[in-house]
Amino acid sequence: MAGAGTDVDRSRNAAAWLRAAAAVATLVTGAVVAAVSWADSGPFTFVLVGVPALAVAPVLLLRARPGAAGIAAWVAAVVVLGWSVLTGLGTGAYFAAPGVVLLVAAIATLPGGAPAPTSTPASGRPGGGDRRSP
């Protein structure tokens, strides 16, 4: 079962990278929305961009703690998607894509996956095969 530990480590590492990429995508989207919205919204742009930015900040700050980062990813996904719906008639709709990526990252942190391989075959018999008594 030496390979089972490395598979778990790989999935945790992939989930961590996905969470970080989703958070960075949210921040980049926020920067673009801020640049476009400043002329129309003025100081309200800080609110428009600040809510999603504050939602993803814990995802980046808690990268070293997978359990806490997973919870932060769920909260961030709900907040960013909710903010996208709330501000959907304006430029807030651009936060839908990073919100979906955050949701996928949150789902990737769920425990589970494929069960660890065992030495017992599917038949349940240590020798394998389907032996029938005469």
Report how far apart the first and last C-alpha atoms of the chain are (Å, whole number).
Answer: 36
CA–CA separation, 87 and 41 (whole Å): 13
Per-residue pLDDT tens digits for 17-30: 888 999 999 999 99
Domain segments of the chain as ranges: 9-108
Predicted confidence (pLDDT) at residue 101 exceeds the cutoff of 80: yes
> How does residue 114 score in pLDDT terms, banded at 50, 70 and 90?
very low
Check: CB of residue 103 under 8 Å from CB of residue 96: no
Query: What does the pLDDT average to over 48-76?
Result: 89
DSSP, res 92: G
